[in-house]
Chains A and B, each alone.
Chain A
Amino acid sequence: TQLLEQSPQFLSIQEGENLTVYCNSSSVFSSLQWYRQEPGEGPVLLVTVVTGGEVKKLKRLTFQFGDARKDSSLHITAAQPGDTGLYLCAVNRDDKIIFGKGTRLHILP
């Protein structure tokens, strides 16, 4: 059983549409990170959420940490082709880093 379940696995939408991707778990975490990975490169941190119910915004990206600190969502407003990539959530579990399998997002121009 995966510690972190990300959904959907794949998402292909038109430029300008809105979308939400999810990272869910049955475990409670002290913090959760979102990374974006582009083809041929390593992941790059987008945000770290720490407090239950926390909402962080990064331009058109809105990140929310669930009240119970078991899940998180990433909402993109007016998606652009530059948002294309693999979105990964990650947590610290006893000094190990566990990643979800990711949501592969493709924005069509």
Chain B
Amino acid sequence: EAQVTQNPRYLITVTGKKLTVTCSQNMNHEYMSWYRQDPGLGLRQIYYSMNVEVTDKGDVPEGYKVSRKEKRNFPLILESPSPNQTSLYFCASSWSGASYEQYFGPGTRLTVT
């Protein structure tokens, strides 16, 4: 089954404790991205990757890191999480670029206390 998977689905952590949210797709997609969704602010892109070893900032990259060492994986790293990073996070992928259909993962709800 073609899908985007994210882990964990739910995470409660404390300020400053490094964490990684994994994202994997099995569709051989080139374009992958991370979003956060917040009430009143909508869905905002954090980082995106056009292909392996190519990453770039979205609209809200501060406090986040990403890497794209393999085509299928695109982990999101929070080196020192803060409470303002409490949010619902989505990973997405598409065949080739931002104009194509984005396939979204199920989401990760992160709470930073």
Contacts and interface: CB of A to CB of B under 8 A. Distances in A.
Contacts of A45: 101-102
A17 B48 CA distance: 40
B44 interface: yes
Most central of A30, A90, A95, A101 by chain B CB within 10 Å? A95
Nearest to A88: B43
A101 to B, nearest CB: 4
Interface string B30-71: 000101000011111100101000001011000000000000
Given A42-B107, A92-B98, A97 B45 contact: yes
Nearest to A42: B104
Contacts of A90: 102
Chain A binding surface, main DSSP class: strand
A16 B103 CA distance: 30
A45 B4 CA distance: 14
A99 B101 contact: no
Given A42-B92, A88-B43, A30 B99 contact: yes
Nearest to B42: A101
Contact of B43 (A40, A93, A99): A99
Interface of A: 30-31, 33, 35, 40-45, 48, 88, 90, 92-93, 95-102
